């Protein structure tokens, strides 16, 4: 798998998506518009992002979401960042789908620790009918605890999305990962359009969308702009936008990717906030490597959600006590538990 940024990365490959209103003359966020934001002087960018953030999230609370791998390893995809890909030697042992009681126990522990959303991840390319039936039971059980529910299961057919909606699924996560231009250098077992089609199925079923990407995979700055533009031009833009800093796992093709400059990561958060003003922008994977000072800048830039708990699928994450300590230092409060439909909708 090639990981060299080619000259073609400066152009966004055509994909089928719908545009939402934005500053561009055609009513969409143009790549040049997003790049211009990323290139702003840092203080100016932070000011603009904080202004947008205060307008749409005056309570300034932080959503705590917990992620559990309910089916680990053995994935047939070749995503260059993923230690769960079967073809990479990363020490991950494939495991079957967890039982309902195991998941409920983990979800209750997450709720007791302060989480309001519980996300279930399964390492599939795409779930089969029997898989969706089993996951629907997990969703029903977790929903019964009073938590918001989220799942990430790979590509999803329309009827599977409908089944999960009927079971009470609130959010479906399916990241675009990077720009359409750079995508083929990270994974080639599915297409960018496959990802957009899954998002369309989720949206049509009435499930809220959780969709973001990963930075630090060797992409160029214009690819970061391309990712943000694609996300912001979804109609509507995602309710949740997880921004991941690559966790470089030995055995994966991206194990030796150069780390992103921390201030460039903050810029991605800030521009995500400006271009998707009503979204919960989530600090996701890689927070352990960022440190408290950079995380504080990310919150200032408009991040208002974190994955909470000492593990993300199979990679490390700051422990709950450390997160609560940081929020206390910054004078930030955790979002209160609520599972009403009004709460899941965009704030006005």
Question: Which residues form the catalytic set?
Answer: 75, 79, 82, 119, 150, 210, 282
Query: What is the distance between the alpha carbons of residues 344 and 310, in angstroms, rounded to a whole number?
Result: 25
β-strands 280-283, 305-307 pairing = parallel
Query: What is the distance between the alpha carbons of residues 185 and 72, in angstroms, rounded to a whole number?
Result: 24
Query: What is the distance between the alpha carbons of residues 6 and 21, in angstroms, rounded to a whole number?
Result: 31
CA distance to 165, 193, 285, per residue, from 225 (Å): 32, 18, 19
| Beta pairing partners, 254 | none
**Cβ proximity of 172 and 209 under 8 Å:** yes
Query: What is the distance between the alpha carbons of residues 152 and 124, in angstroms, rounded to a whole number?
Result: 9
Sign of CA dihedral 159, 162, 168, 169: positive
Query: What is the distance between the alpha carbons of residues 41 and 176, in angstroms, rounded to a whole number?
Result: 27
């Amino acid at each position: 798998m090639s990981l060299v940024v080619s000259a073609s990365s400066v152009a966004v490959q055509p994909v089928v998506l719908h545009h939402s209103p934005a500053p561009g003359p055609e009513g969409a966020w143009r790549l040049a518009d997003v790049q211009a934001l990323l290139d702003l002087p840092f203080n100016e960018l932070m000011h603009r992002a904080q202004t947008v953030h205060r307008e749409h999230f005056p309570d300034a609370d932080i959503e705590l979401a917990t992620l559990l791998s309910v089916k680990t390893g053995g994935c047939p995809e070749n995503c260059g960042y993923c230690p769960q890909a079967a073809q990479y030697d990363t020490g991950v042992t494939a495991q079957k789908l967890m039982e309902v009681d195991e998941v409920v126990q983990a979800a209750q522990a997450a709720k007791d620790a302060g989480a309001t959303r519980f996300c279930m991840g399964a390492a599939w390319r795409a779930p089969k009918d029997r898989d969706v039936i089993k996951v629907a039971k997990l969703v029903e059980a977790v929903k019964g605890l009073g938590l918001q529910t989220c799942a990430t299961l790979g590509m999803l057919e329309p009827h599977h999305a409908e089944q999960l909606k009927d079971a009470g699924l609130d959010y479906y996560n399916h990241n675009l990962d990077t720009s359409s231009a750079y995508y083929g250098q990270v994974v080639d077992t599915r297409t960018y359009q496959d990802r957009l089609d899954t998002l369309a199925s989720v949206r049509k079923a009435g499930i809220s969308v959780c969709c973001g990407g990963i930075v630090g995979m060797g992409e160029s700055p214009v690819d970061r702009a391309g990712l943000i533009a694609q996300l912001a031009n979804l109609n509507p833009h995602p309710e949740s936008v997880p921004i991941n800093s690559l966790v470089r796992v030995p055995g994966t093709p991206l194990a030796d990717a150069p780390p992103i400059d921390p201030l460039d990561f903050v810029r991605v958060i800030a521009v995500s906030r400006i271009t998707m003003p009503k979204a919960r922008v989530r600090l996701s994977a890689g927070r352990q490597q960022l440190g408290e000072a950079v995380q504080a800048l990310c919150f200032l830039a408009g991040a208002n959600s974190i994955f909470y708990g000492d593990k993300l699928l199979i990679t490390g994450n700051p422990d709950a006590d450390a997160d609560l300590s940081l929020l206390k230092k910054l004078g930030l409060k955790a979002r209160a538990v609520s599972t009403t439909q009004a709460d899941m909708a965009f704030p006005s």
